[in-house]
Chains A and B, each alone.
Chain A
Amino acid sequence: MPLENKEFKPKIVAFCCNWCSYAGADLAGSSRLTYPADVKIIRVPCSCRVNPMFILRAFEKGADGVIMCGCHPGDCHYSTGNYYARRRMTLLFSMLDYIGVENGRTRVEWVSAAEGVKFSDTMNSFVEKIYSLGENVRLGDLRCKQ
Chain B
Amino acid sequence: MKYSYYPGCTLRTKAKDLDVYARASAAALGIELIEVEDWQCCGGVYPLGSDEIATKLSSVRALNAAKEKGQDLVTMCSACHHVIKRVNDDMKNVEDIRTRANNYMELEEPYAGETEVLHFLEVLRDRVGFDELKKRVKNPLKGKKIGAYYGCLLLRPSKLLSFDDPENPKIIEDFIRAIGAEPVIYPYRNECCGGYISLKEKDMSKNMCEKIMASAEGFGAEMLTTACPLCLYNLNKSTGAKLPVVYFTELLAEALGVKDEVKEEVQK
Q: CB–CB under 8 A between A and B in the complex?
A: no
Chain A interface (Cβ within 8 Å of chain B)? none
Chain B interface (Cβ within 8 Å of chain A)? none
